[in-house]
Amino acid sequence: MAKMNFGGVIEEVMTREEFPLDKARETLKDETIAVIGYGVQGPGQACNLRDNGFNVIVGQRQGKTYEKAIKDGWVPGETLFSIEEAADKASIVMCLLSDAAVMSVWPTLKQYLTPGKALYFSHGFAITWSDRTGCVPAKDIDVIMVAPKGSGTSLRTMFLEGRGLNSSYAVYQDATGKALDRTLALGIGIGSGYLFETTFQREATSDLTGERGSLMGAIQGLLLAQYEVLRENGHTPSEAFNETVEELTQSLMPLFAQKGMDWMYANCSTTAQRGALDWMGPFHDAIKPVVEKLYHSVKTGNEAQISIDANSKPDYRVGLEKELAALHESEMWRTAEVVRQLRPENN
């Protein structure tokens, strides 16, 4: 493990130097890895493992996703099977189904988790709220997690570019004495940049908070609020969108992603610097109580229950599509389509 100083806090992380790909391959040389589910995380993790030389198969039900797996090179009867067949053949079962699907498949899946196998997740949801999901693994298997800090699409794209997406990892249950090595080897195998330790509970709590907060929910709310105020005060859709979203995503985000917020500030005008420094405090003070309320809702299991209840409705997908369609048809995001078409690379 490498000791790193994170703003004065020393934290141990695992990099590819401490746990190189050759070591990961050696660790898992006798293992058959089954990726169960080929939706969001499945394609990226499965394809990266395959390209890195691991013995990996895919378990997926028939349908559009099954056909996508075939297009990605998985061969029915050789490397592509039903969920049951794949789980039966595997020594490591990577459960990459959606949280709702995990609950529905669990009664079937657990039959194939025989002693000595490893059950792998990329999200702590099912185990953290096992009293609600029903996912309670037997004591004679390893239960482990590697959670990439981004989408499966990003994981695959960055892998193909020779980069890595950072991931957290955790061992919930070590029945074999080799759970940690299995975990780290899988983390390197799927193409992680570096790995930092967490627990299932901490990952699930931070993940749900992040999704509802700065990663998705809060960012949409903030952008829409500013866009609306500009429009209500006579600014055109193009001007409101460019000042709210386009400049953020195309100019400023790459700057602070590269070297930090202070470096991004230093590369803006003195007028922008002064305003940003003056207004970050009021925004922080207004938003922190909302984040605290959100975190409490997540930690108490309320958000998990809302998700479980929503995903359990027979017409959930229909309702979700309606909500997403309304978001897509809003003026701000219809404006986004036009702005993207006008970018130089599209002309």
Closest CA to 121 of 89, 148, 156: 148
Burial class from Cβ neighbours inside 10 Å (0-12, 13-18, 19+) for residue 230 reads middle
Strand order in the sheet with 118-121: 2-6, 9-15, 192-197, 165-173, 142-148, 118-121, 92-95, 33-36, 56-59, 80-81
Angle at Cα 295 formed by Cα 293 and Cα 298, nearest 5°?
A: 110
**Amino acid in the structure at residue 264:** M
* Distance between CA atoms of residues 347 and 268, nearest Å: 28
123 included as an active-site residue: yes
* Distance between CA atoms of residues 78 and 59, nearest Å: 11
**What are the residues whose beta carbons fall under 8 Å from the beta carbon of 92, sequence distance 6 or more?**
28, 31, 32, 33, 34, 117, 118, 120, 182, 186
**What are the residues whose beta carbons fall under 8 Å from the beta carbon of 307, sequence distance 6 or more?**
99, 100
* Distance between CA atoms of residues 156 and 190, nearest Å: 9
Spatial contact of 241 and 227, defined as CB atoms under 8 Å apart: yes
**What are the tokens at 173?**
């249950």
Q: Which of 123, 235, 284, 328 is catalytic?
A: 123
Residues assigned a catalytic role:
123
